[in-house]
Amino acid sequence: MSIRNSAFSAAMIALIVLLAFVPLVTNGYQLSLAINIMSYMVLATAWTLFSGPTRYVSLATVAFFGIGAYTVAVLGEELSWPLVLAIAFSIGFALSLIVGLSTLRLSGVYFVIFTFGLAELVRQLVTWYEVNVTRTLGRYIFIDVTHAQIYWQLLALAVIVFISGWLIQRSKLGLALRVIGDDEAVARHVGINTTLAKVVLFAFSASFMTLAGAIMAPRWTYIDPAIAFNPVVSFQVLIMALLGGVHRLYGPVFGVIPLVILFEVLLAKFPNHFSIMVGIAFLLIVYAIPRGIVGLVEGMQFSLHKAKGAKA
């Protein structure tokens, strides 16, 4: 390991320790904001983990997030917390395998369409189940957990997502995904099982989202399908990832922080026009900075580098 690598690792560890102290120095409102940021950090990074290299746009983030939340609502008081998380993870994993296996061997459009309606489908199924079987639409979540504990769990999950992403990037799977993103025909002809690679990665990405939903669930004391499967969440995650830049694992960080704060402000000031504002913000990003902030900065560095090279 080189000196630069060890210095980088030390800096990362220092950053994580520093972030762990956030609940001790913030007031309730700030902590709540920090929880939001951390939650979207996990979601947007998990989204990028799959959609960044493969360029398959997933619109189903909230389907998995909501499943995580519902798992807690149903089982949270009956089983121990680690077991609940393990179950949430498994459900997310199983559902994403079904989605992946039915769509990812085909071209990307089928995947987009499938994920586009998935949250709505799950929402309607949960609603149907609650109305017909349990006969109550909403559920109360009484789990003894402080906001600081929620924050710490999300921080730990974020660290796990980043480390997984980093390990995948350095692995053969990571290279396989980059080849697929560049040219799927070439990928198949160099011996990559493209469907398997995509399905595995999608399943991991979706399971992390499910875990985020499970950890966040106790923050609401009451959930119903409309709250847990709110499509705006999928949309926000997509915007954040795109604003940050999806071709680098750390890209979404630069989208999550400004946008969580912006959305917080918008929601407070324009509660009835929130969706319009978010839509416009999204369109601006798609048109003005298609490669995200990270892509923009790298592009500037690149042209600077070129200009210097030309002078020399």
Binding site for another protein (CB under 8 A): 55, 57, 59, 102-103, 106, 108-110, 112-114, 116-117, 120-121, 124-125, 127-128, 131-132, 172, 175-176, 178-179, 181-183, 185-194, 231-232, 235, 238, 242, 247, 272-280, 282-283, 286-287, 290
Q: Which two tokens stand for residue 275?
A: 């969706």
What is the rounded distance in angstroms from the CA atom of residue 100 to the CA atom of residue 200? 8
**Of 23 and 52, which has the nearer Cβ to another protein?**
52
**Of 189 and 308, which has the nearer Cβ to another protein?**
189
The CB-of-239 to another protein minimum distance in angstroms stands at 8
- For 249, which DSSP code? T
The CB-of-278 to another protein minimum distance in angstroms stands at 6
**Of 188 and 219, which has the nearer Cβ to another protein?**
188
The CB-of-102 to another protein minimum distance in angstroms stands at 5
- For 135, which DSSP code? -
Say how many C-beta atoms besides its own lie within 10 A of residue 292's C-beta.
24
Q: Are 86 and 248 in contact (CB under 8 A)?
A: no
The CB-of-136 to another protein minimum distance in angstroms stands at 15
Contacts of 114 by beta carbon, 8 Å cutoff, 6+ apart: 60, 99, 102, 103
Q: Which two tokens stand for residue 172?
A: 């053969």
What is the rounded distance in angstroms from the CA atom of residue 179 to the CA atom of residue 298? 21
**Of 178 and 219, which has the nearer Cβ to another protein?**
178
Where helices occur in the chain by DSSP H, the ranges are 3-20, 22-25, 28-54, 61-75, 81-103, 108-129, 147-170, 172-182, 184-189, 194-216, 225-228, 231-244, 253-269, 274-288, 292-311
The CB-of-113 to another protein minimum distance in angstroms stands at 5
SS3 (DSSP) at 248: coil
**Of 55 and 147, which has the nearer Cβ to another protein?**
55
Q: Cα dihedral sign for 114, 119, 120, 122? A: positive
The CB-of-86 to another protein minimum distance in angstroms stands at 27
The CB-of-169 to another protein minimum distance in angstroms stands at 12
Task: Give the type of residue at 91.
Answer: I
**Of 81 and 235, which has the nearer Cβ to another protein?**
235
What is the rounded distance in angstroms from the CA atom of residue 135 to the CA atom of residue 109? 37
**Of 14 and 232, which has the nearer Cβ to another protein?**
232
C-alpha neighbours within 13 Å on the C-beta side of residue 110: 9
The CB-of-276 to another protein minimum distance in angstroms stands at 3
Q: Which two tokens stand for residue 214?
A: 């499970």
**Of 30 and 171, which has the nearer Cβ to another protein?**
171
